[in-house]
Amino acid sequence: MTFRIVRNLSWTATAGAIVFACGSPIGDDVYLGESSAPPSFVAPPDASPEATTRELIEYCASNKCPTGFTTCPSSKFLCDVDLRTDRNNCGACGVTCPGAGINDRYDCVEGQCVLRCDERKNVANCDGIVDNGCETSLETNENCGACGKRCTDPETAPCLKPTGTPQCGCPPSSTYCKSSNACVDIESDSAHCGGCGNVCDPAGSPGTPPPPPNAYYGCVQGQCDRPKCNEGYADCNDDLNKPNSDGCEVALYTNENCSGCNDNCAAQQMVCGIDLNKGLHFAPRCNCPEGQTFCVMYDFMVPPMGVCADFTSDLLNCGGCGRACLDATERSQASCEYGMCKRKCGARWADCNGNFDDDCEVDIFSDPLNCGGCGVACDIAAGQACAGGRCVVEPCSKEEEEAR
């Protein structure tokens, strides 16, 4: 035998549904068991009859637009325009927000066209004037990283981007060199060894012996004439600074020695290369864990450059390297599902007829025959509108209640 605990409830009828409302907070629960008797509603001892009596409110189909929605001259359906978010009808029918610019775009937010600056380009609307867009670069000494943030010592600490984000001066671990207008590590930079502009001769100072094989003389701990490995080589036996050194004897960028000595990609069932999905850090590494494949894009490079791709979901490598799903439209985005290119409908659109060629053809936000989903129909005979993916209802009038 099973039981349910039902608190003091009253009910109201809606169009095709019953909505329950709590009659009291806590106490005097009614236990309903396996019985043929209908459930009863018991009021707490201290409650008046009014406390558990609720007015029956019936809701009927409506053609009146809810708050924020309206029907414009260009409308296909009743109440199919949301004036709060529609860029083509922002706040009122026919009020169109400006198109996207080079550094900015406009969105409709609560019925107002709002300027959005492209943060990736370090720009801002510092003067507060919408008409001229995002007019200010945040990479200057007057506006460094934010409007009005000035670099007070532009000679020694100007506005720079050592980490991609504009800031005044260099991080503590580096030094600003005006000649190159950059932050450098004077402990290891052969062009600024120990100080700005102090260039190390890769062949060594006069009287210095020739550098070991696959090596040159560079900057180590702020001093020149220290042997360093050429790009792509390593000193794996650690004899570079010893007499009769064999130099940097190991070639890197291979599956056995990828980014350094004994960095064995093959042992990890991975591939040595540069993964372009990791950003602009062109450092070789062991790439692609289990379930992914390294798709080479530039095979003439050493090491090769490419991307790690999951063939079951990668838009640009769907089912195989280079098989791209690019069939995007205003209503849908391309998708890769289990290695097959498919179409993914946007939030307010649906492919109700299953025909790939006519895109996501139904607007489920406003179509009364497909309101919120394919085949979900409103009361067409009563002229019921669909707004925001819901069939519109309102309390029934007395005449409608009497007719029912």
Q: What is the pLDDT of residue 37?
A: 44
Domain range for 46 is 4-57
CA distance 43 to 8: 6
Domain end (from 35, 57, 79): 57
74 contact partners, CB below 8 Å, separation of at least 6: 88, 89, 93, 94
H or E segment at 179?
none
Say what percent of the chain tops pLDDT 90: 60
Radius of gyration over every alpha carbon of the chain, rounded to an integer in angstroms: 35
281 contact partners, CB below 8 Å, separation of at least 6: none
- Which pair of structure tokens corresponds to residue 102? 């080079």
Q: What is the pLDDT of residue 378?
A: 96
Summary mean pLDDT of the chain: 84
**Same domain as 198, residue 244:** yes
Tell me whether residue 367 is in a domain: no
Tell me whether residue 351 is in a domain: no
Cα→Cα distances 34→2, 10, 20, 39, Å:
7, 21, 21, 11
Q: What is the pLDDT of residue 138?
A: 95
CA distance 292 to 288: 5
Tell me whether residue 97 is in a domain: no
**Same domain as 223, residue 193:** yes
Say what percent of the chain tops pLDDT 70: 83
**Quick one: which of 297, 318, 301 has its CA closest to 309?**
318
**Beta carbons of 202 and 190 less than 8 angstroms apart:** yes
Q: What is the pLDDT of residue 32?
A: 31
For the segment 26-37, the average pLDDT, to the nearest whole number, is 34
Tell me whether residue 363 is in a domain: no
Domain end (from 276, 292, 309): 309
Domain end (from 215, 248, 281): 248
* Total domains, the chain: 3
Q: What is the pLDDT of residue 28?
A: 34
Looking only at the bridges linking them, the beta strands covering 390-391 and 386-387 are: antiparallel
**Beta carbons of 312 and 338 less than 8 angstroms apart:** yes
Q: Which residue has the tokens 């860029």?
A: 87
Beta strand residue intervals within 23-147, DSSP E: 30-32, 59-61, 69-70, 81-82, 104-109, 112-117, 123-124, 136-137
Q: What is the pLDDT of residue 404?
A: 58
User: Would you call 120 helix, strand, or coil by DSSP?
Assistant: helix
The model carries a pTM of: 0.58
- Which pair of structure tokens corresponds to residue 384? 């019921």
Task: Give the confidence band of 280 by pLDDT, cuts at 50, 70, 90.
Answer: low
For the segment 78-100, the average pLDDT, to the nearest whole number, is 94
CA distance 358 to 367: 17
Q: From the CB of residue 219, how many other CB atoms can be counted at a distance below 10 Å?
A: 23
Tell me whether residue 104 is in a domain: no
User: Would you call 401 helix, strand, or coil by DSSP?
Assistant: helix
For the residues of 179-202, what is the DSSP string, one character each?
A: TTTEEE-TTT-TTSSSSTT-PPPT
CA 41 distance to own-chain centroid = 51
Residues 326-368: tens digit of each pLDDT: 877 888 988 898 998 888 898 899 999 988 788 899 999 999 9
Task: Give the confidence band of 19 by pLDDT, cuts at 50, 70, 90.
Answer: very low
Tell me whether residue 294 is in a domain: yes
Tell me whether residue 159 is in a domain: no
For the segment 41-70, the average pLDDT, to the nearest whole number, is 72
Tell me whether residue 121 is in a domain: no
CA dihedral 64, 66, 69, 74 (to 10 degrees): -10
